Amino acid sequence: MAEQRVRIETNKIADWKSFHTVFQEAFGFPDFYGRNMDAWIDCMSYLDDRDAGMTRITVARGEVLELEVANSMDFQKRVPEVFQGFIECAALVNSRRVEEGSAPVLALVLS
pLDDT the model gives residue 3: 72
Q: pTM for this one?
A: 0.94
Q: Per-residue pLDDT tens for 11-50? A: 999 999 999 999 999 999 999 999 999 999 999 999 999 9
Phi and psi torsions of 105, nearest 5°? -125, -5
Question: At residue 1, does pLDDT exceed 50?
Answer: no
Q: Per-residue pLDDT tens for 49-61? A: 999 999 999 999 9
pLDDT the model gives residue 66: 96
* Nearest C-alpha neighbor of 23 from the set 2, 5, 7, 1: 7
Q: Per-residue pLDDT tens for 63-102? A: 999 999 999 999 999 999 999 999 999 999 999 999 999 9
Contact between 40 and 55 (Cβ < 8 Å)? no
